[in-house]
């Protein structure tokens, strides 16, 4: 890990990183959704230079290394999470993107921003800083939680300012010198679970328990069941009409 920025300790619930692993149905399904969505906009087999902003414990980078030809760097402001980014081909940086280091200007063919944008109050400044790092013609891939009317105590606990629909995502890029290439909802099969989480999982002040209840399947059978449902959805729906998550591609 290369330390490029002096940052304050990140208060993001570390229990979330403990649950976020390659066996968890949602994280497996998210990378499946990405591998279906991304080839429309960027070749996956070329040795492209990619940055994951907000890479956390490095899970997405690990998932991609054996599936695409890209070299994926990662940056975050959570030093403890970054220490979990081990054995990866790309470089890892403790780095605040608002500092806009000259070495990163127009440096990347693609940027991955998975489940980060919903945490950002001032998205305009944040997106401008992201595009500083992206080559002209490069693609920003975003994944966010979808459908703001399902916002719950769990969302509040993990720092979600909002959940998105397609119109909200389009509005984020209004006035920026970029082109929205497309969107795709996914996790339609999880909408009943999303509704249940909103109605049944409440904040009692114990954030660790709330995160576990809101994210961790109760057992391996349920984990496999949910993954099977999402895998079937991927083949049944080329473009689901709605879903618990939204994936977007934006070209600089």
Which pLDDT score is estimated for 247? 98
List average pLDDT for each run of 10 residues in the chain, which is 252 residues long.
83 64 92 96 96 95 94 94 93 96 97 96 95 98 95 87 96 95 96 89 76 81 93 91 97 98
Which tokens sit at 154? 């769990």
Which pLDDT score is estimated for 203? 78
Which pLDDT score is estimated for 10? 62
**Which domains, and CATH codes, for the chain?**
2-251 (3.40.50.150)
Which pLDDT score is estimated for 100? 97
pTM here is 0.94
Which pLDDT score is estimated for 198? 87
Which pLDDT score is estimated for 99? 96
């Amino acid at each position: 890990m290369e330390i490029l920025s002096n940052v304050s300790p990140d208060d993001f619930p570390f229990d979330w990183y403990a649950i976020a692993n390659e066996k968890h149905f949602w994280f497996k399904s998210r990378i499946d959704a990405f591998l279906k969505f991304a080839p429309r906009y960027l070749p996956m087999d070329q040795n492209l230079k990619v940055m994951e902003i907000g890479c956390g414990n490095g899970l997405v980078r690990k998932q991609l290394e054996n599936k695409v030809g890209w070299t994926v760097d990662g940056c975050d402001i959570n030093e403890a999470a970054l220490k979990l980014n081990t054995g990866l081909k790309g470089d890892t940086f403790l780095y605040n993107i608002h500092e806009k280091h000259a070495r990163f200007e127009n440096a990347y063919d693609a940027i991955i921003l998975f489940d980060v944008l919903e945490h950002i109050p001032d998205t305009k400044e944040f997106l401008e800083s992201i595009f500083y790092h992206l080559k002209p013609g490069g693609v920003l891939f975003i994944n966010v939680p979808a459908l703001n009317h399902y916002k719950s105590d769990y969302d509040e606990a993990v720092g979600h300012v909002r959940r998105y629909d397609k119109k909200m995502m389009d509005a984020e890029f209004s006035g920026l010198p970029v082109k929205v290439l497309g969107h795709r909802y996914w996790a339609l099969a999880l909408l009943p679970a999303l509704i249940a989480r909103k109605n049944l999982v409440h904040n009692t002040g114990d954030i660790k328990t709330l995160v576990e209840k809101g994210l961790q399947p109760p057992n391996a059978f349920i984990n496999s069941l949910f993954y099977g449902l999402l895998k079937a959805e991927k083949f049944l729906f080329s473009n689901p009409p709605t879903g618990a998550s939204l994936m977007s591609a934006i070209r600089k």
